[in-house]
Amino acid sequence: AQSVTQLGSHVSVSEGALVLLRCNYSSSVPPYLFWYVQYPNQGLQLLLKYTSAATLVKGINGFEAEFKKSETSFHLTKPSAHMSDAAEYFCAVTNAGGTSYGKLTFGQGTILTVHP
C-alpha cells in the first residue's frame, strides 16, 4: 500500500520569495515520486520525477525536489517565486515494482498563491 500526504492545502508567498511545498510518502516498496502542476481549468502536467537515479531532481520552470528516504519526504522548492507559479501542485507516488502499471496515488494538493 502507498499513500501521500501534502502538508498545507494552501501556501501563500510573495513574488521573489522561496517556494516550499511539502510532501511525505508511505510505500512498502521503493517508490517512484512525481510532482504535477495544475493551472486553472486545465489538466495536470509533470514538473519533475524521482526514479532512483539521483536524489536531487530538477524540473521545469526552476523547480526542484529532493528525495530523502530517511524522512520519507519529497519536498518541492523554487528559490524565487513568480506570479506565473500560482497553481495547484500535486505530489504522487507509484511503486517501482513490475506490476504497478504506473498507477499513481496522489496527495490532496497544495494551492500556491503568489502575491505581488
Query: Which residues of the chain form contacts with another protein (CB under 8 A)?
Result: 4, 6, 9, 32, 34, 36, 41-46, 49, 51, 90, 92, 94, 96, 98, 100-109
Closer by beta carbon to another protein, 63 or else 90: 90
Q: C-alpha cell of 39? A: 493551472
What's the closest the beta carbon of residue 100 comes to another protein, in angstroms? 6
In angstroms, rounded to a whole number, what is the distance separating the alpha carbons of residues 65 and 113? 19
What's the closest the beta carbon of residue 16 comes to another protein, in angstroms? 29
Closer by beta carbon to another protein, 98 or else 116: 98
Closer by beta carbon to another protein, 52 or else 80: 52
Contact 103, 3 (CB under 8 A): no
Q: How many CB atoms lie within 10 A of CB 63?
A: 20
Contact 50, 25 (CB under 8 A): no
